[in-house]
Amino acid sequence: MKKYNVAILGATGAVGGEFLRLIAERNFPFAELRLLASKRSAGKKMDFLGKTYTVEEATAASFKDIDIALFAGGSISKEFAPHAVKAGAVVIDNSSAFRMDPEVPLIVPEVNPGAIAAHKGIIANPNCSTIIMVMALKPLYDLAKIKRIVVSTYQAVSGAGKEGIDELTDEVNAYVRGEEMEAKILPTTSMPKHYPIAFNLIPQIDVFLDNLYSKEEMKMVNETRKILNDYDIGITATTVRVPVYRSHSEAVNVEFEHDLELKDMAAAMDAFPGLKMLDDPQKQIYPMPLYTSDKNDCYVGRLRRDESQPNTFNFWVVGDQIRKGAALNALQIAEVMIEQGLIEEWQAKRGGVE
pLDDT attached to residue 353: 45
Q: How far is the C-alpha of 30 from the C-alpha of 51, rounded, in Å?
A: 14
Judge if 306 and 340 occupy the same domain: no
Judge if 224 and 183 occupy the same domain: yes
Among 164, 166, 148, which Cα is nearest to 156's? 164
Peptide bond into 187 cis (omega under 30): yes
Judge if 162 and 307 occupy the same domain: yes
Angle 167-186-44 (CA atoms, 0-180°, nearest 5)? 55
Host domain of residue 33:
4-97+326-350
Give the chain's residues under pLDDT 50: 353-354
**HEC states along 91-126?**
EEECCCCCCCCCCCCECCCCCCHHHHHHCCCEEECC
Q: How many domains is the chain partitioned into structurally? A: 2
Please indicate whether residue 83 is annotated as part of the active site: no
Judge if 25 and 163 occupy the same domain: no
Sorted by sequence, the CB contacts under 8 Å of residue 86 that are 6+ apart come out as: 353, 354
Judge if 180 and 306 occupy the same domain: yes
- Supply the CATH number for residue 73's domain: 3.40.50.720
* DSSP SS3 for 238: strand
What residue type is assigned to position 165 of the chain? I
* Residue 205 within a domain: yes
DSSP annotation of 327: I
Among 289, 288, 250, 246, which Cα is nearest to 157's? 246
Q: In what order do the strands lie in the sheet with 90-93?
A: 56-57, 30-37, 4-9, 68-71, 90-93, 122-124
Judge if 57 and 142 occupy the same domain: no
Q: Which is the catalytic residue, given 194, 248, 258, 298?
A: 248
145 contacts 135 by C-beta, under 8 angstroms: no
Judge if 84 and 145 occupy the same domain: no
Judge if 284 and 331 occupy the same domain: no
Please indicate whether residue 248 is annotated as part of the active site: yes
- Supply the CATH number for residue 306's domain: 3.30.360.10
* Residue 124 within a domain: no
Among 187, 227, 237, which Cα is nearest to 207's? 187
* Residue 300 within a domain: yes
Judge if 244 and 282 occupy the same domain: yes
Among 344, 332, 338, 336, which Cα is nearest to 23's? 332
* Residue 123 within a domain: no
Q: Which is the catalytic residue, given 83, 119, 128, 298?
A: 128
pLDDT, tens only, 245-299: 999 999 999 999 999 999 999 999 999 999 999 999 999 999 999 999 999 999 9
pLDDT attached to residue 351: 67
pLDDT attached to residue 99: 98
Could you write out the DSSP letters of every residue in 159-197? GG-HHHHHHHHHHHHHHHTTPPP--SSSS-TTSS-----
